Structure 1
């Protein structure tokens, strides 16, 4: 089948939208110069940040005035500049990963004057204070957020030395990463997965109207070489982000070029590579950046190649026995699990321009290409000769305008115009069949986001704004007889020309009730419009129309018993509006085990979550413990249905039962999450986390599906000025408490998934000021195991060699 119409249509629309976005943004820049120029009644703080031990300038340090929510990041010379400050006394907070934070004494800003400030940071091996933006939609310290939030810094991402973006989450508390194949990677948070977990990239939605309820692979379309930080928020945050922020939210923040305060243009480059044995992976990336006083540009190109994956040879007897003796299906269980290999390449460019000291304009472009990715699990059970995502593609371009300055309505203003394209084509052919099917769909999502932040009475903080997303779907399906070459059209997975509009208004206030007590109250109104016109040959469905809306809220509390120990708690609503995958999908589902038909009579899924716990942060220790209980309603589940008056349908020689999705379920998920680190001194850090969840279907009194077992990690990390090393053990208990849906999932061994553990070692050596060597031995004891929900056994002993050269 010819895919060019879908592809070129998307490219044309993308280029047109980029042109319009650029034009509008440049106009905004010109207007900002007039409306928000520097005022002679305001002052400026200029300064530098140094390493107290060496005297070297420190780039990348955040210098922040919390009372104004204003700040800057030091350039490569360690310099920063904060302008347009109202006269008054302020305290500067200086933060940089790997150094102890510093809060200055009060400094006084005078009108039309420039104040010079220097900070000298002390290096340390333990990072007690981390900054996040996702849970509050503005920068604040993690310990000051009344939700369970964790972050992965750029340094931590490098030390993890993984090959794929989803693998960055494997050691995070309360997160399970499901992999159906080598190219997959679907995070599960608090027992909720796929389209019940919101994925963001730089605050822009990845989830679109075609995201399915089964495990998804889309996080793996982000190259790890461009990731600057990862933030994970557990629990519903629909009051800020709307639909799909149900079980949790993951925000991938990408690298930015920055600027510098000196003269001329500064150039830099970086090359990195990684190879590993168990998955025969080969990765490489090259990036360069140029920075000047008012602009900066960063470009990155990466490629990834993976071979077939070798499982472990030690242990796993119970697992292999359950797989071999599975009464549901036969299995082929080779040591080298194939086909699993695939290749990919990605490109990234980021341009930053500062038209004035108070405003900045960012233009970012991302591309990822995966030509052919096999789905391994269906080969293990002998159902298919071909099942490939061929290809899997993602493109994103967005333009973001930011302005800071004290006005009546805001102190910080952000506007983002984006265009996101996600495309996949599924090629399938069953064993001993000459019929090959092709299902392709492209989702083009233009979006607009406006956000304002305002400080009131120097202690209360408000965030409010609006978002609009419009998913446009182009789809086509066909079947090819490989013996005759005849091609026949099939009903596409989603109706060609379907549209899905999502609009939201949100507001959140953070109120200091008492000096040690802060309440956060948030609310959001969301509306949706789904329109899916079926063609004449399927006119029994006509045009499916859904127009749900939702009003959600959240209330959270943080009470500081001391400067180090804080009690946190929240009650929050979450929801997920029915999308195209729920309401209008027409075709085989769940590995072609049944046939799905549309159902236009759907309502949003909802959740009410209550959680509470404490956060302890000290210069030598950090500890978070949370318990939660989530009540789910209107869950979308499948039930038997009819198609053309029959409860079954013959598709390609297979007789399939007919199902559709309906609001059938109510359930409860409860559990706990615990994580901490302790630095006894001498460069040593002890760390660990533990998570548990239990789900119950309140209708059938049976377990809810996809609930992970008790799992965690424990380890020791030690650092010297030139060497950073870590040894840890990941582990999970057995999960034999299965829902009926789990028992039908052939990726889960019959009877459940046995418990497992691995021991892992990784180290990083600073060879020179500009070169780093990374070594790792993962799964040292070559354990044979399978993670719950995953479609293949995990890699055996894996030798990893990587390096980085800064130019």
Structure 2
């Protein structure tokens, strides 16, 4: 079958029905129908909330990318990260297709704060797979602040904030009922996905319910299938809003995202021949907020917010290795690791009280306190078969061993902070100044840790085996950190402005960095409970033009990090529980020893050069160095960008071609792999909504990697065996709304 058959079909529909497309009502637009904007270029009119205030994007002195629901509908959107990858300064990494992450200006997840509707997922760790536990069909928009904003969100925001805002219901003067059904298919991994949502409400209440189910096979690459890259995923969410009295709003939401049989084809934590999957991996969020508005002439809002987020990761790993050794009596001992079953439970609770004050028509002041805590519980069992064979290779003895372990001792991370932010408008509103600061207290508590908790040999359990090591003593650690930022926005012309941001940020070490213990035989990789927070100083200078014919967002930045946490050679001093004399083994120990410097630029340009034709261009570059060791930093994306053209027709829809690419990355850290330059051609088509009586239909389709180019994403190679990205992918998505 011709590979372009699906695209030709969509073009036929696009042409035949173009004259009958209609725009939905206001109520439909506020829900799940996806309109095509009458404007060819977005000029910063979208309202964002990540600075804890609702402002138009162009009114804030912040380097920011915003990706809306429409962007996720019109692209293949295998995960949240795929669409963000097209934004300048944001790069995607992956362990296959399901488990993806992003990198913002050279800093990965462990130096970003990720939020869902303003609630933390997990902070200061790169093991979250957090971007894969969000249903793209439920996304209203994603706001990415590029740069340090720790004065609002505390620890971890050295590289930026990723605020994922999901779709919500709304109050209405009259009762309403609306909804939609989205069905999609992607050819690269035979992904079938179905989503349904329903919205109802009135003037005092609303309810939104939604659900999604998707199933995918192994992903196809130009060099064949990538084994063990399949997944099955589901999502349910509910949001309820009440207005008990005027100016009082109570909102409650629940989200449950769950995936099973998720292949992990990459991952440096696993040996090369191993086969690893998430047998279960899921996230549950319960969130409630109560807001009172217009309390007085000065106090405009008081909001209390609570959230509980629980993440479970169950891994099944089959090592697929066999080790043999010759015994002194001439027999052979054959050791076969059958399977390993790590489990991690991550529970996060948080509460926040925020007040907003309109001191006068030129000044808005925000003050608040927040607390959040994370509890980590891990366990692991290793199933090993040990066989003894005689010289004739006959098995004369078999031992079945189960080794019970706690990779990271049960531990708690707690953070409490006071934050302040002031927004001032000066010089007849041509100058906007936003300043903020916060102080945080952080305290850590952990239980005693052991190298092995128990051994079960042929059904008999021993809770105190003679080789049991004490890895971490029970203890507590406390830190106090502070952060501050200042942002300036000056309107130089009617549609042009310049911005300057200065910030001091910090990142408290994660529980994983403090308490990890990985035994590699002749040495161990070890955490350090006494790690100090990393601190950073950053600056960002931007030039922006907001014009219906020409829109430009550009910036240059520098980010310096001290007390950077890296692994340093040392010795692990341990004591066996059966002895009192300490012993040592070589180790790589997390330490505050390095200084990092990152600098670069990124830009995004849209030019409406003729009628409904728009050319768009973007690019980003970042250089990262360990200035103390004079070495390259790891996980630094190469120079990359995108060039494309988009045509829109009010009676039909839009079509877009884009060429994305990256330069060769040879400025790599020790242990990384160089990657070559590449380009990839993509195409998307989006129709207007067709009126089908009581319902409307909108069709999205396209082709990723049209030429089936074989290429390597540099950030993916750093996690293990992944070296080739997905090949040609034809996708189609139908959105029925009522």
Question: Which protein has the bigger strand share?
Answer: 2
- Could you tell me how far 1:201 is from its partner in structure 2? 0.5
Structure 2 counterpart of 1:169: 84
My pick for the range that moved more, 527-536 or 453-462, is 527-536
Residues 275-294 of structure 1 mapped to structure 2, 5 A cutoff: 275-294=185-204
Alignment deviations for residues 626-659 of structure 1 (CA, whole Å, 9 cap, x no partner): 101111110000112323459xxxxxxxx99622
Residues 626-637 of structure 1 mapped to structure 2, 5 A cutoff: 626-637=555-566
Shift of the 380–567 alpha-carbon distance from structure 1 to 2, 3 Å rule, reads closer
| Match among 380, 386, 402 for residue 488 of structure 1 | 402
Alignment deviations for residues 174-214 of structure 1 (CA, whole Å, 9 cap, x no partner): 00100122221111011110211111100111124xx534x
Structure 1 counterpart of 2:300: 411
Shift of the 546–455 alpha-carbon distance from structure 1 to 2, 3 Å rule, reads same
Structure 1 counterpart of 2:660: 730
- Could you tell me how far 1:507 is from its partner in structure 2? 0.6
Residues 427-576 of structure 1 mapped to structure 2, 5 A cutoff: 427-433=316-322, 434-435=336-337, 436-481=339-384, 486=400, 488-496=402-410, 498-515=411-428, 516-535=430-449, 539=470, 541-576=472-507
Shift of the 161–432 alpha-carbon distance from structure 1 to 2, 3 Å rule, reads closer
Shift of the 450–486 alpha-carbon distance from structure 1 to 2, 3 Å rule, reads farther
| Match among 714, 726, 740 for residue 643 of structure 2 | 714
Shift of the 672–733 alpha-carbon distance from structure 1 to 2, 3 Å rule, reads same
| Match among 725, 730, 736 for residue 799 of structure 1 | 730
Q: Are 2:687 and 1:765 aligned?
A: yes
- Could you tell me how far 1:379 is from its partner in structure 2? 10
CA distance in structure 2 between the partners assigned to 1:594 and 1:785 by the alignment = 35
Q: Is contact 1:235-1:609 (8 Å) kept?
A: yes
CA distance in structure 2 between the partners assigned to 1:75 and 1:798 by the alignment = 29
Q: Are 2:133 and 1:203 aligned?
A: no
CA distance in structure 2 between the partners assigned to 1:381 and 1:397 by the alignment = 33
SS of structure 2 residue aligned to 1:155: helix
Structure 1 counterpart of 2:552: 623
Q: Are 2:235 and 1:346 aligned?
A: yes
Shift of the 556–782 alpha-carbon distance from structure 1 to 2, 3 Å rule, reads same
Q: Are 2:512 and 1:581 aligned?
A: yes
CA distance in structure 1 between the partners assigned to 2:219 and 2:41 by the alignment = 35
CA distance in structure 2 between the partners assigned to 1:386 and 1:656 by the alignment = 29
CA distance in structure 2 between the partners assigned to 1:217 and 1:513 by the alignment = 43
- TM-score, with length taken from structure 1: 0.77
- Could you tell me how far 1:539 is from its partner in structure 2? 4.7
CA distance in structure 1 between the partners assigned to 2:207 and 2:618 by the alignment = 39
CA distance in structure 2 between the partners assigned to 1:526 and 1:132 by the alignment = 29
Structure 1 counterpart of 2:157: 245
Q: Are 2:565 and 1:658 aligned?
A: no
Q: Is contact 1:378-1:384 (8 Å) kept?
A: no
| Match among 284, 299, 319 for residue 209 of structure 2 | 299
Alignment deviations for residues 734-762 of structure 1 (CA, whole Å, 9 cap, x no partner): 1011111xxx24xx3xxx00011111111
| Match among 722, 739, 744 for residue 669 of structure 2 | 739
CA distance in structure 2 between the partners assigned to 1:732 and 1:380 by the alignment = 27
Q: Is contact 2:523-2:585 (8 Å) kept?
A: yes
Q: Is contact 1:491-1:586 (8 Å) kept?
A: no
Q: Is contact 1:98-1:125 (8 Å) kept?
A: no
- Could you tell me how far 1:390 is from its partner in structure 2? 2.1
CA distance in structure 2 between the partners assigned to 1:690 and 1:471 by the alignment = 37
My pick for the range that moved more, 508-517 or 372-381, is 372-381
Structure 1 counterpart of 2:26: 58
- Could you tell me how far 1:75 is from its partner in structure 2? 8.9
Q: Which runs of 5+ in 2 are unaligned?
A: 1-20, 323-335, 387-397, 451-467, 576-583, 717-721
Structure 1 counterpart of 2:395: none
CA distance in structure 1 between the partners assigned to 2:472 and 2:51 by the alignment = 42
- Could you tell me how far 1:56 is from its partner in structure 2? 7.6
Structure 1 counterpart of 2:710: 784
Structure 2 counterpart of 1:601: 530
Q: Which runs of 4+ in 1 moved over 4 A?
A: 53-57, 74-77, 96-99, 378-382, 482-487, 535-540
Shift of the 97–139 alpha-carbon distance from structure 1 to 2, 3 Å rule, reads farther
CA distance in structure 2 between the partners assigned to 1:786 and 1:551 by the alignment = 40
Shift of the 539–781 alpha-carbon distance from structure 1 to 2, 3 Å rule, reads closer
CA distance in structure 2 between the partners assigned to 1:76 and 1:429 by the alignment = 43
SS of structure 2 residue aligned to 1:403: strand
CA distance in structure 1 between the partners assigned to 2:551 and 2:560 by the alignment = 30
- Could you tell me how far 1:269 is from its partner in structure 2? 2.3
- Could you tell me how far 1:220 is from its partner in structure 2? 0.4
Shift of the 350–800 alpha-carbon distance from structure 1 to 2, 3 Å rule, reads same
My pick for the range that moved more, 194-203 or 152-161, is 152-161
CA distance in structure 1 between the partners assigned to 2:268 and 2:378 by the alignment = 26
My pick for the range that moved more, 723-732 or 161-170, is 161-170
CA distance in structure 1 between the partners assigned to 2:92 and 2:666 by the alignment = 18
> Of the two structures, which has the highest relative contact order with CA contacts closer than 8 Å and spacing of 6 or more?
2
Structure 2 counterpart of 1:421: 310
CA distance in structure 2 between the partners assigned to 1:377 and 1:76 by the alignment = 36
| Match among 103, 117, 131 for residue 219 of structure 1 | 131
Q: Is contact 2:571-2:585 (8 Å) kept?
A: no
Structure 1 counterpart of 2:12: none
SS of structure 2 residue aligned to 1:355: coil
- Could you tell me how far 1:727 is from its partner in structure 2? 0.7
Shift of the 780–698 alpha-carbon distance from structure 1 to 2, 3 Å rule, reads same
- Could you tell me how far 1:76 is from its partner in structure 2? 11
| Match among 389, 401, 409 for residue 278 of structure 2 | 389
Alignment deviations for residues 229-284 of structure 1 (CA, whole Å, 9 cap, x no partner): 1101001100111111111111100011112102xx42222111111112221111
- Could you tell me how far 1:168 is from its partner in structure 2? 2.0
Structure 1 counterpart of 2:103: 188
Q: Are 2:683 and 1:753 aligned?
A: no
- Could you tell me how far 1:362 is from its partner in structure 2? 1.1
Alpha-carbon RMSD: 2.6
Alignment deviations for residues 714-742 of structure 1 (CA, whole Å, 9 cap, x no partner): 111121123121111111001011111xx
Shift of the 132–578 alpha-carbon distance from structure 1 to 2, 3 Å rule, reads farther
My pick for the range that moved more, 428-437 or 458-467, is 428-437
Q: Which runs of 5+ in 1 are unaligned?
A: 1-52, 62-73, 78-95, 100-122, 313-333, 647-654
- TM-score, with length taken from structure 2: 0.84
